[in-house]
Structure 1
Amino acid sequence: MPGLGTIVDGACIVVGGVIGLLVGRRFSSRFQETLLIACGLSILFIGIAGTVSKMLVFTDSGFSTAGSVMLVSSLTIGGLIGEALNIEKHMTGFGEWLKQKTGSHDDNGFVNGFVSASLVVSIGAMAVLGPINEGLYGDSSVLFAKSVLDLILVLLMTLSHGKGCVFSFIPVVIIQGLVTLLAGLIRPIMTAEAIDALTMVGSVLIAALGINMVLDRHIRVSNLFPSVIVAIIWAFVSA
């Protein structure tokens, strides 16, 4: 059934978020601060590992790096596009709208939680390859695996960021649903090189989210999101 994997993924995100809310209420602010750092460090090193795994090339004489030019170019071009479109502003605006509609007026972390969790569960190869496999072959296995990972990630993020993380299911369902519908058009450009490029650049964005959480910085990661698309196109054209 086309779309089943995405529906399950969205449901798992909600379940993870609800569990996080129920458990998080038992922790004091001191514990929540530690959980925020722990979650941020985990996301930071998941991002670093994903990038390094695609950049390092091992040879008989040692190792070298690959994809540096693509990485820098994709982040630069994608960042310029994202700033021009001001994606962060639109995501924040939608988060504020959700905050009002859900009666979360006093939840100062709602919008940040929504934006951060949405990016974590929307960026990555599984968010693209899963819907493509489902749309073309009816294979939901990748999305089912992603559902388990997303449940855990959103649960952890909700412990520190609050209710906003629960609503990250909305962009996931929209994005993955569109990829499933357009699978026939997208599949030809998703070469092995394109998947590696997507993973490399997407992992940098995930690491940036971790930096925001650990160091209390405000890297506009949403505005870097087009970098992932630029990387895929770069890899396809260069192949």
Structure 2
Amino acid sequence: MTLPRKPDTDKIVRRKLSDQVLDKLRDLITSGEVSAGDAMPSERALMERFGVGRPAVREALQSLHNSGLITISHGERSRVNAIDAGTVLGQSDEIARLVLSSAPANLQHLKDARQMFELGMVRLATQRASEADIADLRTLIEQQRSFLGDATGFVEADMRFHTKLAQMSGNPIMAAVSSAMLGWLFEYHSSLLHWSGKEDVTLAEHTRIVDLIAAKNPDGAVAEMARHLARSQDAFEAKT
């Protein structure tokens, strides 16, 4: 009897040895057998443990390195990296650059996403801010003021201010997402010329935001942040 033809998904595919080793190495990390900061077993130990040759082990280790799970240093044993939301999002930087460059509309989508994110973030920051947090924000504003006339330094200080707000939310995923989005905006689609002559306005807006946070006025802080972001929309444009 002739069996009916099955879809290609039923076909058995022989997997590369290095892919199988990669799965085993991931298991070592997720199981906690090796933890952040630990050295990975030597290539020889891995060869003996999995019964494979050196090329398969080296290719699997390189894949782990490329994904950010381990760091390979010349002449030393590879080490397991601390894995958090920042690590994961950091691995997306190259993809983000391609996405943002592929169509002009994607930059506007990122601006819109950032605005929605920052408004929720500043509300949380206002609700959870400590006196030390508020003091840190005021210090960051003064640091930003010290970069008047230095567009690059001013923009980097601006990023630190918004990053601090994200950290005040108490949510490490929010902090990592904020840092990633700011990096994508400033590094890939920033026009520093747009900041010229508007630095004092930015500083005044930041000061008002901090004053509203200090007053425990989340609605006011959200409204001021919305105005700040709306005005600064044109500071980001696709590179040509």
How high is the TM-score relative to the length of structure 2? 0.31
Q: Which has the higher contact order (CA 8 A, sep 6+)?
A: 1
> Based on CA coordinates, which of the two structures has the bigger radius of gyration?
2
Flag the structure with higher helix content. Answer: 1
